[in-house]
Chains A and B, each alone.
Chain A
């Protein structure tokens, strides 16, 4: 496909995502923060459902050698980078998606977060240009490189290749684990609703009779 065609598809995809996220107020930051701080799971449940569908969809295509999985080595930097990102997104109150969506709604704070995300990226490029870590994609081998704190590359496709078992099999296991977490959240919510109902009933009976 031509570069322009790819860019058009990307723009169309992004536009639909923008509308859906704007209408649903979905927020990845809230999916983690609200579950941890406020024990509310509106966004967490949506994230888990999406991950279940994606896991089955991606691993099904990977089984038949289709799709375009990300290909680069991972390592300590992957954990550390997302740790730093996780702190940042809670402080900023927005993630990469909601900064764009909220900016589209006229939120200047989100635009400010976006500008400083760019600044952070540029600052990192200065540091990388001095120490060349983590390794550039061109020097990645797919194999562990402990000296550079890299574990290499592995995904559903490499599992299929290594064990001779279709990738979808592993995908179904992962989807099952995600579903287990989803069910646990539903049970927790049912428990919260029940204790709320009991507390209300108790306060109603505690009212003095008139």
Chain B
């Protein structure tokens, strides 16, 4: 049974039903699934390790996100990394792979930067949008869903243009 699980691809509907049920438990215990907040805290901790007390000269890191290694959201991301790594090892799907073309590196770099800027501007990421705010019927969830759909459409058009060369 367990070995079968790591041989076949799991239906994403089944995976997401399980995640949704767990997310409800998390919502009751501490708060809904989110990733962006943990990533911001990690950014702050990394910046602090380089800059030391100089980081306090940037008010963002004292007024919005004060670096704190016990911030629970960090551990969701680290858990996902750990779970995916273990799963990939068991399924024999772990291997180091690199983007082949320079254009891929450029797109990933720009995409990554835009994701980071977007998360901080909005105070939410895609996970909070679909798995937190949206289901909480938060007004911000509707704004965020409209924004991400519009953004994904523009991104898809750019992607299509690039694909068509």
Shortest CB-to-CB span from B137 to chain A, Å, is 4
B136 A58 Cβ-Cβ under 8 A: yes
Interface centre among A29, A58, A67, A124 (most CB of B within 10 A): A58
Interface string of B5-17 (1 = CB under 8 A from A): 1100111111111
| Interface residue from A66, A85, A104, A122 paired with B151 (Cβ < 8 Å) | A85
B residues in contact (CB < 8 Å) with A: 5-6, 9-24, 26-36, 39-40, 42-44, 46-47, 58-61, 63-65, 70, 72-88, 91, 93-99, 104-105, 107-141, 143-156, 158-160
B118 A84 Cβ-Cβ under 8 A: yes
| Interface residue from B16, B114, B152 paired with A120 (Cβ < 8 Å) | B114
Complex contacts, B81 vs chain A, CB 8 Å: 14, 18, 100-101, 103-104
| Interface residue from B22, B153, B158 paired with A13 (Cβ < 8 Å) | B22
Q: Closest A residue to B61 by CB, please name it.
A: A125
A-side interface size class: 35 or more
Q: Closest B residue to A20 by CB, please name it.
A: B15
Complex contacts, B119 vs chain A, CB 8 Å: 81, 85, 96, 117, 120-121
Given A97-B127, A118-B39, A77 and B121 touching (CB < 8 A)? yes
